Structure 1
């Protein structure tokens, strides 16, 4: 399957587009993305569609710095759950290493690398939106850098903003490099990245003094670090995550929307429904059975929480009415949700 990115990669896209006088809805529809779906930050969408959308938007707005303008709107929390751990890392180096090591948790399109040599540190960024049936080396050699210009600048701009969170708003890198050529008017790039931005270089990324990576993280609370890392370890997605894992994650995201279908899942994965069915069949599953298994696991967690009303849980699990949820729960667990909760937590009032 082709690389995916979280919807959070487009955080601020609609507001930025409208401020520049272009129609975000029309452009998103053109590349097969659902504007309403952006409200679901953790939903996964095809990386190639995001890359194409950024290029179309830059052209429509006549802004060669569109990707950087979007990066400027990026917030720390847009990284998702990993941001909770990054805040507690002891220094800049460990935060960057963690971000690079777990980049698949928020962007499968992005490949970052941190290197140090001769007193300098380099954060290199590359994108890989190509056909996974080809080797990565082949894709790198035959890719037109103009097709990913805005996405690359968004990624480098986001890293630049990330480093400034730790090093301060006045911090300047030694150099910000891009492999593509300079824009006609570089004023926007120099405003956002400083006077050190360079084009037609051999890599995309940021160069800084290695000693700056030793800067302590002023946000960190040592008492919270172990808790943050334990939480992250429980949700981290490794490189060995299966296609079944990816589909299950999508089901969890889609259930509360009431639009959890194989078509929606396939669209988010950038494939057709037959491909989804084929991956599920290889694991002895169907889409319906996986939805049911996922609902069962979530129901155990949600119903056990006395602060959640059964009506609310019904909606979170994607049921059209509480009565449908009640019938399903009794079929799965042999008792009503109310009785099951009472047995787990002791007798007491159950919110409707």
Structure 2
């Protein structure tokens, strides 16, 4: 079992808009659950699913709307799938599209899985959270139901309705409010959250299918990083890439984003044979090489984007990594772009 699963920041798609419509300050909601506002601008970033559930729980409480998660899911719709949406929509049939979703869902969410099962003439599209007792999990499951409804309407048609909606918990408000939102009253206290519909829908062709594009998308998605807790160093580096441009990043800040105790994170990394400082240096080196290839970024700007307090600290670190100054490195590797780098007049070669 994953100890600390993650989701893409793409899961926060449309959060600012929807939270504001509910009378909430989106940035303040994020701050109160220790999530950086930068995630709203970095959909490729990652966050702890525990923090995501806590955010939904807080928003339900502060908005006074028990169906916050469900309505947010209907508002988000397929926007949360990112590149995966194009793979889904270019499958040949609805059944093939849902199979793509099931097989590739870990690109988006390492904290849950999607299942598609047949029960006689019925199909059940269900959602299973690994840590099913998290605070706010009811909101997260209802959000998934809302997204599932919008996905099926995207694939089958805007008037599609499930035969039944399953929810694992008791009603969060008057069941009539669910009817107004979904068009039907769910079956509560079911074994898992899901959508039940005729299996005939699985054979419906998708008019948007493009076989060549589907193959290219498969290749692209095959190279994408899946979100499992097994590759903790990779997730730490992802967070570092997201947070460094906003200032100095410490292990305490990274651990907080991941809902870890800092010492526990240090121990986990040590078990992987690496330290936080190693990951910080590796990430900064990779980012520095990338920025040096961009003629619009000066050295002074670069040092800030890498989380250094001043230019000299960045230059000393760069020399320690590569045994040359940033200017010499650029002369060797990007000779055509080197003059643009010298916009930073404060820099003096080491």
**Same fold per TM (> 0.5)?**
yes
Question: In the alignment, what sits opposite 1:179?
Answer: 168
Q: 1:244 — aligned with what?
A: 233
Aligned to 1:216: 205
Displacement of 1:228 after TM fit?
Answer: 2.0
Q: How far 1:236 moved relative to its partner?
A: 2.9
**Aligned counterpart, 1:226:** 215
Distance 2:207 2:289 in 1: 39
- Are 2:144 and 1:155 aligned? yes
Classify the secondary structure of the residue corresponding to 1:125: strand
The one-character-per-residue Cα deviations of 1:156-206 (angstroms, maximum 9, x if unpaired) are: 111221222222212222222113233543444334422363334333101
Q: Tell me if structure 2 keeps the 8 A contact 1:89–1:217.
A: yes
Are residue 269 (structure 1) and residue 280 (structure 2) matched? no
Q: 1:117 aligns with which of 116, 119, 122?
A: 119
State which of 267, 278, 283 in structure 2 corresponds to 1:278: 267
- Residue 58 (structure 2) aligns with: 56
* Comparing 254-263 and 152-161, the one that deviates more: 254-263
Q: SS of the residue aligned with 2:223?
A: helix
Contact 2:124/2:197 (8 A) holds in 1: yes
Question: How many residues are aligned here?
Answer: 338
Distance 1:298 1:35, change over 3 A: closer
| Candidates 169, 179, 186, aligned match of 1:197 | 186
Residue segments in structure 2 that go unaligned for 5+ positions in a row: 342-350
CA contact (8 A) 2:70 2:143 kept: yes
Bigger shift: 263-272 or 90-99? Answer: 90-99
1:297 is matched with: 286
What secondary structure sits across from 1:208 in the alignment? strand
The residue number in structure 1 matching 2:346 is none
Note the C-alpha offset of 1:5.
2.7
Q: For residues 40 and 194 of structure 2, what CA distance do their matches in structure 1 show? A: 27
What is the CA–CA distance in structure 2 between the aligned matches of 1:209 and 1:278, rounded to whole Å? 49
State the TM-score, normalizing by the size of structure 2. 0.81
Contact 1:102/1:238 (<8 A) preserved: no
Query: Which deviates the most, 188-197 or 153-162?
Result: 188-197
Contact 1:68 / 1:150 at 8 angstroms: preserved in 2? yes
RMSD of the alignment, in Å?
Answer: 3.2
The offset of 1:41, in angstroms, is 3.0
Q: Distance in 2 between matches of 1:314 and 1:222?
A: 45
Structure 1 stretches of 5 or more lacking a match?
A: 131-142
Q: Tell which deviates more after alignment, 13-22 or 282-291.
A: 13-22
